[in-house]
Amino acid sequence: MEQHVEKHYHSPDSKKKQLNRISKAAGHLQHVKMMIENDDDCSDVLIQLSAVESALHNLGKEIINEHLSHCIAHAIEDGDTEALEAFQEAIRKFL
């Protein structure tokens, strides 16, 4: 299957929110790394790691929602089945 390549536009506000979320998750992951280096309790590390995983998953859901409401809506209007197939594959990998 050929990779679908399309230039996407994201509003500055939406992009800022997404970048802030990824920065927070990265900072949290750095904290998890320090916990491991400091031999913190494994249960505490797992709880914090779960929080990072949840933050990333929620960011993914936000990106899916935005992509559906903008890019996929335009693809349907344009009859772009390649974009729909590429998005379906991305969803399968995300889940």
pLDDT one-digit tens code per residue, 43-63:
999 999 999 999 999 999 999
Q: Which residue has the higher pLDDT, 79 or 6?
A: 79
In the block, residue with structure tokens 């998750």: 25
Output the pTM of the full model.
0.76
Judge whether residue 2 has pLDDT over 60.
Answer: no
pLDDT for residue 4: 47
Average pLDDT, the chain: 88
Task: Look at the domain 13-94 and name its fold.
Answer: Methane Monooxygenase Hydroxylase; Chain G, domain 1 (1.20.58)
pLDDT for residue 22: 94
pLDDT for residue 7: 61
Asked if 1 and 81 touch (Cβ cutoff 8 Å), the reply is: no
